[in-house]
Structure 1
Amino acid sequence: MLVKTSGLVLSYIRYKDTSIIVKIFTKELGLKSYIINGVRSSTAKSKMGFYQPMMLLDLVVYHKETSNLNRVSEVKLLQAFQRIPFEFKRSGIAMFMAEVLSRCLYDGYQNESMFDFLEEAITLLDSPHCNLTHFPITFLMETSKYLGFAPVSAEEFFEELNQAWASSRDFQVEATYLDGLLQHSFAFDQNVPSIARRNLLDLCLSYYSAHLEESKEWKSIKILRQIMQET
């Protein structure tokens, strides 16, 4: 049957000579894989630009419960980004967001509230009012709420990481920073030393890896560290 839904692109892989298989987190159906035939050919009706990570799409898709790979009937941009494709920092953060979601979400996972949050987050990233300095860490903390392992305080966060934060002075700046992010979310706008931001980012990724029970290196971390150093 045909289903109309909004979708957020996470990733794609090339398939045969001119096609791709794309993973899209849809609002109504959850995370699904779709084959897009001929999109890499010069005569393609659809555009490869639609299927870049974190693009928001308006879709009509074929849906069959027993199939792991479906097709797209109609596609158009739900929102045309004005800054993310053209600014290195924003595009780098978008790549990081896509990697985080690709690791956290599984096929068939469906959560409309999470989709709404992600739509708001990527829209904010494209906004001229977005504070890029704190965005990646705030995104990790806000996303963890929907994944079921959000810390309620810096104390809980560091205790889970076994950092003995209460008796150590090593992470006091990071702990204060994290409490500020947990309280103010994307509205947090205080100045924080770059070393503390980098340290907290690394700790947040360790926190995610522990909850996801995996130890793979985060592919986009080098680019993200560079971005955070410059913001």
Structure 2
Amino acid sequence: MLVKTRGIVLNYIKFRESSIITKIYTEQLGVQSYIVNSVRKKGTGSRIALFQPFTLLDLVVYTSHKGGLSRISEYKSAYPFATIPFDIRKSSILLFLSEVVARTVKEEEENQPLFNFLFNAIIYFDEQEQGFENFHLLFLLQLSHHLGFGPSSGKEIVEQVAFSANAQSLTSAPPVLALQALEVYYDQLLHATEPVEIPNGRVRRELLSVLIRYYQLHVDKLGEIKSLAILSEVLSE
């Protein structure tokens, strides 16, 4: 059976000479994996750009009650990016966030509020020309609510992380005291009605590190986010 749906590319791996296996979060079917043939051709025939992380697609896909890998009948861009591919900061943020989503969103069924949040957030991010330094923090906080463990305050994040195992490794200072200084920024981000002022890249990295640890406490086998190191380097200032 064929299903028409929008989709958000999460990642892909190479398959054989010119094909890929891609994981896509679809509007109608949740997370699905598809074999796509002949997208890595050399020259003008290549369409691999359409399967970069968080690319937004219009799809017609085959479905099967047996599950497993399926195929895509038709695909095209649902929203051509205007800024993300041309800004290393934006593309690094999107790579990081797509990895987090791929590791946390597993359901193979429709979830309209979650899909709408992801789809609209990506478009909003592409439209921002400046002032997007905190986008990944806001995104993760909002995503956590869709995943069912969203915090109500900065204190909730800090206390859970500070009293968890290995909290000491996050900072050289005593965990509770060091992390309490971050509470105010989380509160501002959680209830932001205007851009939040975070002093510098160091504080932003600390906020992200703690937030990732918070995710690890709530998402089973989340593991290491490999693109975090790249993001930290790009946003070091």
Same fold? TM cut 0.5: yes
Q: Cα offset for 1:88?
A: 0.2
What is the match of residue 174 of structure 1? Answer: 182
Q: Cα offset for 1:190?
A: 2.0
Task: State the alpha-carbon separation in 1 of the partners of residues 43 and 196 from structure 2.
Answer: 47
Q: Deviations over 1:171-229 (max 9, x none)?
A: 343110000000017x4332433322111110001111111133632211112112332
1:228 paired with 2:231, answer: no
Task: State the alpha-carbon separation in 1 of the partners of residues 234 and 223 from structure 2.
Answer: 21
1:206 paired with 2:237, answer: no
Task: State the alpha-carbon separation in 2 of the partners of residues 199 and 86 from structure 1.
Answer: 27
What is the match of residue 83 of structure 1? Answer: 83
Q: 1:217 to 1:134 in 2, by over 3 A?
A: same
Amino acid at match of 1:175: E
Task: State the alpha-carbon separation in 1 of the partners of residues 130 and 139 from structure 2.
Answer: 12
> Which blocks of at least 5 consecutive residues in structure 1 are unaligned?
none
Q: Number of aligned pairs? A: 227
Moved over 6 A (4+): 43-46
What is the match of residue 157 of structure 2? Answer: 157
Identity %: 37
What is the match of residue 170 of structure 2? Answer: none
Could you say what the CA RMSD is over the residues aligned between the two structures, in angstroms?
A: 2.1
What is the match of residue 11 of structure 1? Answer: 11
Task: State the alpha-carbon separation in 2 of the partners of residues 129 and 91 from structure 1.
Answer: 13
**Is this contact kept in 1: 2:2–2:62, CA < 8 A?**
yes
Q: 1:98 to 1:175 in 2, by over 3 A?
A: same
Q: 1:190 to 1:88 in 2, by over 3 A?
A: same
Task: State the alpha-carbon separation in 2 of the partners of residues 215 and 54 from structure 1.
Answer: 19
**TM-score, with structure 2 as normaliser:** 0.88
**Is this contact kept in 2: 1:180–1:188, CA < 8 A?**
no
What is the match of residue 101 of structure 1? Answer: 101
Q: 1:82 to 1:3 in 2, by over 3 A?
A: same
Task: State the alpha-carbon separation in 2 of the partners of residues 218 and 94 from structure 1.
Answer: 13
What is the match of residue 55 of structure 1? Answer: 55
